[in-house]
Amino acid sequence: MTENPELIAETPYIWRARRGDHRHRLICFPHAGAGAGAYAEWAALTPPEIELAAVQLPGRQNRIAEDPVTAVGPLVKVLTQALRPVMDGSFSFFGHSGGAVLAFEVARALHAKGGPRPSRLFLSAQPAPGTPGRVKQLHDLTDEELIGEVVDLGGIEAEIAEDEDVMDALLPTLRADFDLWEHHQVVPGPRLKTPITVLSGASDPRAPQDTLAGWREQTDGAFDIRLYPGGHFYFLNDPAELVGDISHVLLEAEKAGSLS
């Protein structure tokens, strides 16, 4: 076993840091404009019992030449099949911002099909369904305005934002992702049985604290909210605390026999 495995591409949709003796797998869904590599640091932070995998979507990193996704329904349908190789045992989902909505929609699709189901959902920096109008819309901003907003949120370093070549490559996917998730509405449906943990920065303008509790309505399982110091990208500078907390929740649930 590699003590600190690296997150590497295995299929178009899956990057994985293989651990042969893991007991649980954490599957991560990235935020707008980001790829699976956003979770590269996490591979060395998870304990040996947890294997890390991350979803890679078209239009970023090793899939930069592909057009970004423009419809949620077909994407969810593809992912319920494409993620099968990492849903062969005990697993949970983590998603940040738009990635939280995608993780939730994939979990709902799996539930509806009676397929493999995540043991827990960790939904980060995303208001609950049914709380529209609270967050500034970014998809229709000018390029300069959009870049400025994302820099202010902490999602892009100011130095990187000044590199025109990098931004020319990044902007189409970033804009397409905001357009996708800002227009997407979670339709009413059966409640999940999967426990949900909502995570957020205490001062996140894109996930105000009073918009988080509504996620409770989406599950008959356990529910809790955990707040961290910081804004929308509260974990980027030092993900160790967040990864440690997630790992602790999963390992404690395993001891209690509630992970399957």
Q: 233 lies in which domain range?
A: 8-256
Q: State the average pLDDT over residues 181-208.
A: 95
- List b or e across 144-158, with b for residues whose CB sees 16 or more CB atoms inside 10 angstroms: eebbebbbebebbee
CATH for 12: 3.40.50.1820
So what's the pLDDT on residue 130? Answer: 86
**Residue 29 within any structural domain of the chain:** yes
In angstroms, the Cα distances linking 175 to 40, 61, 142, 147, 237 are 23, 16, 10, 10, 24
**Residue 160 within any structural domain of the chain:** yes
At residue 258 the predicted structure's pLDDT band, cuts being 50, 70 and 90, is low
- Rounded to an integer, what is the distance from CA 156 to the centroid of its chain? 17
Residue 1 predicted with pLDDT over 50: no
97 is catalytic: yes
**Residue 122 within any structural domain of the chain:** yes
CA angle 7, 127, 35 (to 5 degrees): 20
**Residue 38 within any structural domain of the chain:** yes
At residue 3 the predicted structure's pLDDT band, cuts being 50, 70 and 90, is low
Q: What is the pLDDT of residues 13-47, one digit of tens each?
A: 999 999 989 999 999 999 999 999 999 999 999 99
Percent of the chain topping pLDDT 70 = 97
Catalytic residue chosen out of the listed positions 90, 97, 119, 200:
97
Residue 257 predicted with pLDDT over 80: no
Residue 53 predicted with pLDDT over 80: yes
**Residue 62 within any structural domain of the chain:** yes
So what's the pLDDT on residue 2? Answer: 43
Contact 105, 79 (CB under 8 A): no
Higher pLDDT, 137 or 74: 74
At residue 260 the predicted structure's pLDDT band, cuts being 50, 70 and 90, is low
- Rounded to an integer, what is the distance from CA 139 to the centroid of its chain? 19
**Weakest mean pLDDT among 79-93, 127-141, 142-156, 233-247:** 127-141
Which SS3 state, helix, strand or coil, does residue 259 take? coil
**Residue 3 within any structural domain of the chain:** no
Average confidence score pLDDT of the chain: 93
**Residue 2 within any structural domain of the chain:** no
76: CB partners within 8 A, 6+ apart: 102, 105, 106, 109
Number of domains in the chain: 1
So what's the pLDDT on residue 199? Answer: 98
So what's the pLDDT on residue 134? Answer: 75
Q: State the average pLDDT over residues 42-62.
A: 96
CA dihedral 38, 11, 19, 37 (to 10 degrees): -10
Residue 183 predicted with pLDDT over 80: yes
**Residue 104 within any structural domain of the chain:** yes
